Amino acid sequence: MDTQNCFHCGLIIVKAEEIIFDEKKFCCNGCKTVYEIFSLNDLTCYYDFEKSPGATPQDINGKYDFLDNESIVSKLLEFKENSTAIISLNIPHIHCSSCIWILENLQRLQKGISSSQVNFPEKKVRITYNPEEVSIKTIVYLLSSIGYEPYISLENYETGTSNVDRSLTYKLGVAFFCFGNIMLLSFPEYFEVKEYWLDQYRGFFRWLIFALALPSFFYSASGYYVSAFKSIRSKMLNIDIPIALGIVVMFVRSTFDIVMDYGSGFFDSLTGLIFFMLLGKMFQIKTYSFLSFERDFKSYFPIAITKINSDSLEESVPIYEVEKGDRLLIRNQELIPVDGILISEKAEIDYSFVTGEAIPITKKSGDKVFAGGKQIGKVIEMEVLHSVSQSYLTQLWSNDVFQKNVVQKHKTITDRISRYFTPILLLIAFSGFGYWIFIDANIAFNVFTAVLIVACPCALALTAPFTFGNVLRILGKQKFYLKNALVIEQLAKVDTIVFDKTGTITTNKKSNISYEGEILSDEYLLLIKNVLRASNHPLSRMLYDYLPISILPNKSANDAKKWRVDAFEEITGRGMEALIFGHQIQIGSADFLEKTEENKLQQTSVHIKINGVYYGKFIFNNQYREGLASLFKNLSSGYQIKILSGDNEGERATLEQLLPKGTELIFNQKPEQKLEFIKNLQDKGNNVMMVGDGLNDAGALAQSNVGISISENVNVFSPACDAILDANEFQKLNYFLKLSKNSITTIKMSFALSLLYNVVGLAFAITGNLLPLVAAIIMPLSTITIVSFVTVMSSYYANKK
């Protein structure tokens, strides 16, 4: 067993903080506690399914106080009666079989829970419990204490039971049922066995086939008629017109054949066609149910907030009920839901969500704080200026781009082909009819219908769904999740790529810290590190983690005393001063250390002064993602690249070095300006792809032709977009774009192939030789070859790096 990693969560154990319990090694007390809970309850099986499956429980003190509020809880529940209540909770940490096991055994940990069921793809657990015995708050605390903290956001507010649309599954079921039975019943006709008893029962077989074809024709295929009708009305010829036409003609002709006793008709081909086309539709729909592409601010916002009443009592109120003049209490790591004025003395607010600025901003009493910022540090109080719907951040969502329920503006590749296909098809049908009418009216009718039947572009209609379906799966495996198949076509058309800076081409994880100035001795570094330990400022934390020296060389008590900080003072927004081991150490901004400096580059830096002597500064640079330079080099050959940043120009020089020449860099962009920028590019006729991350890019992502959101952890959150890309796969972007282009090529090739089948079929049809058997062979044959062709081709392109 690997002893370096925590038995519970798998993180690497820092030697000094190692905890040994029950002969197992843990990285922290939290993990140990979870293990303790499990072992007390005989639930250690948890660790058998997956190695180190757990997560360290987070401190949630006070965070879920709103669950005491009955009216809020009732909005979250799915069902409630006297002694039974059901709630579905979203738990982002669900990731393996151990998770399923422990969450489905919750009733062993908590009295009052009767059962719980995990939905793994959606990362949800549905808990049935008795509200008289256990409160929802207790359940949430229990879940958090074992490392499965549920995520409850404003989005959960007023969730009814959502209706899932399963009609495609029903249609497919009906189509397959009809198709299979008709095929069986058609066999005698195929072999034309001239036996007495088969002849005898022919009528019975045929009418049974007819009856079986009805549900498929009227129900399963109904989507095609509707779509064809709509497209005629909007004067856009789409692929569904020839399909619907083919189906209807096939049905009428076959019915006619049976009634007049001419033959068995084409019901086998008809139902087969409907089935395969629905199968294609089904195949194209690949959903990532644990991802959401439609997120707006609601999924970021908490559901309730702590309000301080006039009699200075704390109370949880739903966000929507917050009014102007209310006093709110914001805890560490909580999101500020509304604009307001800070009442507390000071606050550190992280606006990375809204502006992309990575370093928190210090606000003083009386300053305005805007919605969307995250509070870091001690509890603060604020007074509300605007209600939720009127706040700065929410206003962004009133922009038109978010109201789009617009029908897709672009035509799909299949529809573009069918614009030519449909008129040509009708032309052939009528000219065939015109030719034969002078020879034999009966044959003329047959030829006319046969042309429409055989040319029914089912292979054509199957090409795109199967190619895209396959590519969607390939991309999904590589952690690039597309909203739907249409995005692939859009990706192939992109000619301009706009990147956000912070969080997109840089990582949020670590800053690249460098030191400039006189070299600090190891002793001084040690002193600095000890001073930093006392500070909670984010920059101090980062610097503390960065400094390589271990803080206590010896664990002996004497040494520990030696390193004690004797005097410490932190001045908000400026720096700190400490006396340690007889040295006076000052750490902070240039201004604080009375160092007048030409800060042209607007770098974020921390200066060091020891015993009154200025030593130097630590500079915080953004850490760019791996492979960035080569990615941009590759991309620049085929695309225009632009960088939009909400940040200041501090990084311009570094970026220019990193990026190919001629890349446009634009700084200090507000969310609305980003949106406007994309719009201008589009007005110039460009197909723009926006790559962004936080809420500050949400407008631009929605406006662009393809909005890709980069996420460090895809299970958590990303703004509304067309695709979500796992941050670790960022350097593969060029490959993804290439693949989508190649998939369009694949489609074009297989269009040629399917047209070939149409020509062969037409040759039969136009000469009046289309027998049901021929149709029954051509149809599945073309389908199978097309499907295997596109699957093989798209997999081939996917493997070609």
Residue 688 contacts residue 705 (beta carbons within 8 Å): yes
Nearer to other proteins, 290 or 515 (CB): 290
Give whichever of 175 and 393 is closer to other proteins, judged by the CB atom: 175
User: What's the min distance (Å) between Cβ of 111 and other proteins?
Assistant: 5
Shortest distance, position 173 Cβ to other proteins, whole Å: 5
For residue 686, the minimal CB distance to other proteins (Å) is 41
Sign of CA pseudo-dihedral 189, 195, 198, 200: positive
Q: Residue 134 or 629: which CB sits closer to other proteins?
A: 134
Closest separation in Å from C-beta 362 to other proteins: 32
660 to 94, 321, 643: CA distances (angstroms) = 41, 51, 12
> Is residue 80 a contact residue for other proteins (CB under 8 A)?
no
Q: Which is nearer to other proteins, 163 or 799 (CB)?
A: 163
Q: d(Cα 36, Cα 39) in Å, to the nearest integer? A: 5
Rounded-to-integer distance, Cα 704 and Cα 497, Å: 10
Binds other proteins (CB under 8 A): choice among 4, 121, 574, 716: 121
Task: Give CA–CA dist 505/625, Å, rounded.
Answer: 6
The enclosing H or E element of 361 equals strand 361-364
Nearest to 143 by CA among 113, 106, 92, 115: 106
Phi and psi angles of residue 667, each rounded to the nearest 5 degrees, phi first = -110, 175
- 652 in helix, strand or coil? helix
Q: How far is the CB of 478 from other proteins (least distance, A)?
A: 20
Q: Are 665 and 652 in contact (CB under 8 A)?
A: yes
- Which stretch in 102-110, 428-436, 604-612, 652-660 sits in contact with other proteins by CB under 8 A? 102-110
Of 110 and 740, the one with the shorter C-beta distance to other proteins is 110
Q: What is d(CA 117, CA 99) in angstroms, rounded to the nearest whole number?
A: 11
Q: Is residue 120 within the footprint of other proteins (CB under 8 A)?
A: yes
Task: Extract the tokens encoding 773.
Answer: 């058997």
Q: Does 180 bind other proteins (CB under 8 A)?
A: yes
The residue (of 146 and 678) whose beta carbon lies closer to other proteins is: 146
Q: Does 138 bind other proteins (CB under 8 A)?
A: yes
Residue in 21, 101, 524, 546 binding other proteins, rule: CB under 8 A: 101
435 binds other proteins (CB under 8 A): no
Residue pair 172/278 in contact by the 8 Å Cβ criterion: yes
Binders of other proteins among residues 315 to 334 (CB under 8 A) are: none
Using CB under 8 A, pick the residue from 66, 141, 515, 615 that binds other proteins: 141
Nearest distance from C-beta of residue 719 to other proteins, angstroms: 26
User: In terms of Cα–Cα distance, which of 696, 708, 703 is closest to 679?
Assistant: 703
Scan residues 41-60 and list those touching other proteins (CB under 8 A): 41-42, 45
Any idea which residue has 């803080």 for tokens?
551
CB of 56 to other proteins, least distance (A): 16
- Nearest distance from residue 110's CB to other proteins, in Å? 7
3-class DSSP state of 272? helix
Residue 159 Cβ, how far from other proteins at the closest point, in Å? 16
Smallest distance from other proteins to CB 330, Å: 22
Interface residue with other proteins, options 56, 90, 110, 186 (CB under 8 A): 110
Among 27, 31, 100, 659, binds other proteins (CB under 8 A): 100
Q: Can residue 104 be called a binding residue for other proteins (CB under 8 A)?
A: yes
Q: Which of 51, 80, 108, 368 binds other proteins (CB under 8 A)?
A: 108
Q: How far is the CB of 477 from other proteins (least distance, A)?
A: 15
The binding track of 760-779 with respect to other proteins, each residue x by CB under 8 A or -, is: --------------------
Under the binding rule (CB under 8 A), the answer on residue 608 touching other proteins is no
Task: Specify the stretch interacting with other proteins by CB under 8 A; choose among 136-144, 377-385, 547-555, 698-706.
Answer: 136-144
The one among 34, 127, 185, 458 contacting other proteins by CB under 8 A: 185
Checking 679-687 for CB contacts under 8 A at 24+ apart, the result is: 679/703, 681/496, 681/498, 681/642, 686/495, 686/496, 686/640, 687/490, 687/493, 687/494, 687/495, 687/496
Instruction: Name the phi and psi angles at 98, rounded to 5.
Output: -60, -40
Could you give the C-alpha distances from 242 to 231, 250, 326, 456, 786, in angstroms and in order? 11, 12, 63, 6, 19
200 scored as a contact of other proteins (CB under 8 A)? yes
Q: Which of 135, 137, 143 lies closest to 118, judged by CA?
A: 143
* 170 versus 229: smaller Cβ distance to other proteins: 170
Q: Is position 40 an interface residue for other proteins (rule: CB under 8 A)?
A: yes
Q: Where does this chain touch other proteins (CB under 8 A) — which range of 100-108, 312-320, 411-419, 628-636?
A: 100-108
Q: Which is nearer to other proteins, 110 or 589 (CB)?
A: 110
Could you give the string, one character per residue 204-243, with x where binding to other proteins holds by CB under 8 A and - elsewhere?
xx--x---x-------------------------------
One symbol per residue from 151 to 170: x for binding other proteins (CB under 8 A), - otherwise; what is it?
-------------x-x--xx
By CB under 8 A, how many residues form the interface with other proteins? Answer: 41
DSSP track, 110-136: STTEEEEEEETTTTEEEEEE-TTT--H
Q: Which residues pair with residue 629 across a beta bridge?
A: none
Helix boundaries (H) for 377-412: 392-396
Between 242 and 272, name the residue whose CB sits nearer to other proteins.
272
Sites for other proteins among residues 672-691 (CB under 8 A): none
- Is residue 21 close enough to count as binding other proteins by CB under 8 A? no
| C-beta separation of 318 from 304 below 8 A | yes
Tell me the β-bridge partners of 314: 308
Picking from 610, 616, 595, the residue whose alpha carbon sits closest to that of residue 524 is: 610
3-state secondary structure 487-532: HHHHHHHCCEEEEEHHHHHECCCCCEEEEEECCCCHHHHHHHHHHH
Beta carbon nearer to other proteins, 28 or 185: 185
Which of these segments, 16-24, 106-114, 573-581, 668-676, binds other proteins (CB under 8 A)?
A: 106-114
- Which residues touch 207 (CB under 8 Å, ≥6 apart)? 258
| Residue located via tokens 């397959």 | 176
For 166, half-sphere exposure in the C-beta direction (CA atoms, 13 angstrom radius) is: 6
C-alpha neighbours within 13 Å on the C-beta side of residue 54 = 31
Chain residues binding other proteins by CB under 8 A are 37, 40-42, 45, 61, 97, 100-101, 104, 108-111, 117-122, 138, 141-142, 145, 164, 166, 169-170, 173-174, 177, 180-181, 185, 197, 200-201, 204-205, 208, 212
